Structure 1
Amino acid sequence: MTIFFYKVQDPYGCFSNFSLHSIDLQGQTWPTSEHYYQAQKYQGTPHQALCDKIRQASTPEAAAALGRNPLYTEQADWDVIKPEIMYAAVRTKFLTHPTIQAELLSTGDELIVENSPLDPYWGCGADGKGQNQLGKILMQVRQEIRQLIQTGAISV
């Protein structure tokens, strides 16, 4: 059975980058993985000051709105590095919070799909044929956590 997620309040909502699970990366605490991801667009750009503003945004929705503002120019190689940025955020999130780590592991070997009708890159898109890159990262992190548990590097 495929695991679909999208909204935070729905089943598997903790898989969303908007879930209220903080992460510590780059020497700072980010309220959500969405805050971290959106801010990284502007590292090393003339708009770098926006990074801290995004980190301090009151909600993940506000962070996303700031990060998606077309008035600001993101890193030139953003499309190349964004999967690495998302992977770091998602991996950190699920290694940091045991409750959601257990929920991720509870999905077994099922396919995980971000059921976003708006995003054919991170999700499945309106037609269900999107790339589902976020789902793929979640499945990769799930497998890595299993390996860490098997080797005793982390415990459950």
Structure 2
Amino acid sequence: MAAGYPIKINGTHILTSEALYQACRYPHLPDIQKAIISEASPMAAKMKSKPHRKSSSRADWDEQRVAIMEWCLRTKLAMNRTEFSRFLLATKEKQIVEQSAKDPFWGALVVDDDTLKGQNVLGQLLVGLREEIKAGNVEHGFVEPLAIPDFLLYGQPIPKLGFRSSLAQ
């Protein structure tokens, strides 16, 4: 949900990786993708997606959502390498946890003052990316598109993506 790391795909400026993630849920519905991507904040993009989830999400969403989130995070890093790396590295060796009021899958729920409980998949993905950065194992400069059916933005295939320098083009 951290804003301030823009992404550009097929000429489209996307303000947040959350908007990109939510848009990937609807590859067959470019109008819904546009509405989501037009939102200025990550939470607004998430809320714009909500009314369409049950009836219009891609059929394989539950199977692909983790891979799509990881791809979105890698894309965020590729296009904001210095800033996003600095953000992740500032967490040092700490666990990264999304404290959530409702979602024990992506985050963790408060049990008491000292305990959170949940799968914290988003936090695990971020920690994994941080460790790859520290080890120098992050693919430099490019993120390949996912090899899944209908990986589209506005009806167009999502291509191999590169560094932020491509945002100026």
Q: TM-score, normalised by structure 2?
A: 0.69
- Structure 1 gap segments, 5+ residues each: 1-16
- Show the counterpart of 1:147: 135
In 1: Cα distance, 2:60 partner to 2:137 partner:
35
What is the RMSD computed on CA atoms of the aligned residues? 2.4
- Structure 2 gap segments, 5+ residues each: 142-169
Equivalent positions of 1:52-71 (< 5 A) are: 52-70=34-52
Q: Which residue identity does 2:93 align to in structure 1? A: D
Partner of 1:113, secondary structure, is coil
Corresponding position: 1:23 with 2:34: no
Deviations 1:29-77 (A, max 9, x none): 2110111011111113xx3421122111233232111111147410111
In 2: Cα distance, 1:107 partner to 1:141 partner:
12
Cα distance change of structure 1 residues 57 and 129 upon mapping to structure 2, 3 Å threshold: same
In 2: Cα distance, 1:149 partner to 1:99 partner:
18
Q: TM-score, normalised by structure 1?
A: 0.74
Cα distance change of structure 1 residues 52 and 125 upon mapping to structure 2, 3 Å threshold: same
Partner of 2:97, secondary structure, is strand
Corresponding position: 1:119 with 2:103: yes
- Show the counterpart of 1:38: 22
In 2: Cα distance, 1:150 partner to 1:56 partner:
30
Q: Which of 56, 72, 89 in structure 2 is aligned with 1:73? A: 56
Cα distance change of structure 1 residues 58 and 108 upon mapping to structure 2, 3 Å threshold: closer
Q: 1:90, CA displacement in angstroms?
A: 1.3
Corresponding position: 1:133 with 2:117: no
In 2: Cα distance, 1:42 partner to 1:78 partner:
9
Structure holding more strand per residue: 2
In 1: Cα distance, 2:17 partner to 2:10 partner:
13
Looking at both structures, which has the greater relative contact order when contacts are Cα pairs under 8 Å and sequence separation is at least 6? 2
Percent same amino acid at aligned positions?
A: 32
Cα distance change of structure 1 residues 149 and 80 upon mapping to structure 2, 3 Å threshold: closer
Q: Which residue identity does 2:127 align to in structure 1? A: M
In 2: Cα distance, 1:27 partner to 1:88 partner:
18
Corresponding position: 1:51 with 2:33: yes
In 2: Cα distance, 1:27 partner to 1:50 partner:
18
